[in-house]
Amino acid sequence: MKKLLLLSMLALLFVAMVSCEKDQLAPVDGQEEMIASRAVTLPFRAWFTTHPVMTGADENGTLTFEIPSEGISNILRQCTWYSDSQVFATILPPPWVQTGTSIFTAADGSQLIGAFGGTTGPQGNIPFVGTGTYEITSGTGRYEGATGSGTYSYATTLDVSSAQLEFVGTLTLK
């Protein structure tokens, strides 16, 4: 009975925390119009769950990945992020150089488009941990003409619950 009460209290606390976090993501009155007019600079924050898939490796140690993701952003709201990424694992020991494309897609199909670069590599039991910078170079739809830059960090784990090994990661952009 005590365990059930404790679990119920933890669940209510989690819901309260998520509600507060979502409230912090609520647009300011007129924010959509300001974005459309490009009259102001807005901070960009986003959190994604990633599903990296290694699509190739060459004899020079370059690993290629497709990275589909889903998440939330203070600007885009519920959105997706997609990347074609390269990890240059040609030097030992890590960290290795990583580069890639970035496409953020809002629910209405509007996109922020750019690229990123940084370092990655294993850290302890974590297959890939990375940090770096990203740049938004263009946009479509309501984000046409958007530009900007910031930093990112991520970590992956190996999901061994399925019949094959899968990477699952968390990506944070600021």
pLDDT tens-digit map of 54-64: 899 999 889 99
3-state secondary structure 72-130: EECCCEEEEEEEEEEEECCCCCCCEEEEEEEEEEECCCCEEEEEEEEEEEEECCEEEEE
Which of 23, 171, 9 minimizes the C-alpha distance to 98?
Answer: 171
In this prediction, residue 162 has a pLDDT band, given cuts at 50, 70 and 90, of low
pLDDT above 50 for 102: yes
pLDDT tens-digit map of 121-136: 888 888 888 999 999 9
pTM: predicted TM-score of the whole model, two decimal places: 0.72
Which of 36, 38, 73 minimizes the C-alpha distance to 174?
Answer: 73
- Reading phi first (left if > 0) and then psi (alpha if -120 to 50, else beta), residue 38 is in left
Could you tell me which CATH number the domain at 45-173 has? Answer: 2.40.160
Which of 43, 3, 47 minimizes the C-alpha distance to 22?
Answer: 47
Mean pLDDT of 111-120: 94
- Reading phi first (left if > 0) and then psi (alpha if -120 to 50, else beta), residue 124 is in left
User: In this structure, what DSSP letter does residue 60 have?
Assistant: T
Domain spans, the chain: 45-173
In this prediction, residue 42 has a pLDDT band, given cuts at 50, 70 and 90, of confident
**One-character DSSP codes across 5-38:** HHHHHHHHHHHHHHHHHHHHTSPPTTHHHHHHHT
| Residue labelled with tokens 């992956």 | 156
Q: Which residue has the higher pLDDT, 121 or 109?
A: 109
pLDDT tens-digit map of 6-25: 333 333 333 333 333 434 44
CA distances 149 to 14, 29, 47, 102, Å, are: 31, 24, 16, 12
